[in-house]
């Protein structure tokens, strides 16, 4: 199901990790850059629950919708109309899809949602197997799966983590090419550690 962020109560929105202000500013600038002149930018957030960044974008006058990435992978997103200028996934939302094939299917559908010249933005953690071993986290290297806990609800969460180079290949299969990669929303250099913020174009 596709939801319009401006129609949702604020208390329904989940927090987004990291620099929310920087994320909103970056996505606004990107949307204005790739949207045809005179048109209102349309953005789609891939999220189980829309984040505070989407609320900030909507409050700034952008047309923002949200869809569960797991339903996107399964092709179960009724109500999606038209194409989007920017699709974005923040805080490892792509990893909520727990199979590689399903992640590729999601990215292929994302590619079909984007208008020509549009952009996909993925904000994700760089896997840190050594730290996870030290912290005794439950992870499965062969399947690239991590069992953790939702900071908002305390519920158990299963993730399939994606290495940056793997993400590049999956996006290539979806006919999306890497344009930029940074370590944060304010164009910090990507060091290969902590998080990355990657922009792909069709």
Please report, for residues 17, 46, 166, the alpha-carbon distance to residue 150 in angstroms, rounded to integers and kept in the order given: 12, 17, 25
pLDDT of residue 15: 39
Average pLDDT estimate for 180-199: 94
Residue 158: inside a domain: no
Above 80 in pLDDT, residue 25?
A: yes
More confident position, 125 or 17: 125
- 81: pLDDT confidence band, cut at 50, 70 and 90? confident
Residue 133: inside a domain: no
pLDDT of residue 18: 67
Residue 149: inside a domain: no
Rounded Cα–Cα distance for residues 96 and 103 (Å): 9
pLDDT of residue 9: 35
Residue 137: inside a domain: no
Three-state SS annotation for the chain: CEEEHHHCCHHHCECCCCCHHHHHHHHHHHHHHHCCCCCCCEEEEECCCCEHHHHHHHHCCCEEEEECHHHHHHCCCCCCCCCEEEEEECCCHHHHCCCHHHHHHHHHHHHHHEEEEEEEEEEEECCCHHHHHHCCCEEECCCCEEEEECCCCCCEEEEECCCHHHHHHHHHHCCCEEEEEECCCCCCCCCCCCEEEEEEEC
The tokens for 113 are 């949602």
Residue 31: inside a domain: yes
Residue 155: inside a domain: no
Residue 183: inside a domain: yes
What CATH number does residue 52 fall under? 3.40.50.150
- Tell me which residue range forms the domain holding 111: 2-126+163-201
Structurally, the chain folds into a number of domains equal to 1
Please report, for residues 26, 57, 190, 201, the alpha-carbon distance to residue 30 in angstroms, rounded to integers and kept in the order given: 6, 12, 19, 11
More confident position, 154 or 44: 44
User: Across all residues in the chain, what is the average pLDDT?
Assistant: 88
> What confidence tens digit (pLDDT) does each residue in 92-139 have?
999 999 999 999 999 999 999 999 999 999 999 999 999 989 988 899
Task: For residue 159, list its beta bridge partners.
Answer: 146
Residue 77: inside a domain: yes
């Amino acid at each position: 199901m596709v939801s319009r962020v401006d129609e949702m109560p604020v208390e329904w929105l989940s927090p987004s990790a990291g620099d929310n202000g920087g994320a909103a500013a970056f996505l606004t600038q990107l949307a204005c850059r790739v949207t045809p002149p005179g048109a209102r930018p349309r953005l789609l957030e891939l999220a189980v629950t829309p984040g505070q960044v989407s609320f900030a974008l909507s409050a700034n006058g952008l047309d923002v919708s949200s869809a569960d990435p797991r339903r996107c992978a399964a092709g179960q997103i009724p109500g999606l109309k038209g194409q989007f200028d920017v699709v974005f996934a923040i805080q490892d939302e792509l990893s909520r899809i727990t199979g590689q094939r399903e992640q590729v299917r999601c990215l292929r559908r994302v590619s079909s949602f984007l208008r020509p010249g549009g952009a996909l933005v993925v904000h994700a953690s760089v896997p840190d197997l050594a730290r996870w071993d030290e912290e005794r986290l439950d992870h499965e290297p062969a399947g690239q799966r991590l069992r953790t806990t939702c900071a908002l609800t305390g519920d158990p969460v299963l993730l399939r983590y994606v290495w940056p180079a793997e993400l590049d290949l999956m996006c290539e299969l979806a006919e999306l090419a890497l344009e930029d990669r940074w370590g944060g929303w304010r164009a910090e250099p990507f060091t290969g550690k902590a998080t990355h913020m990657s922009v792909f174009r069709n």
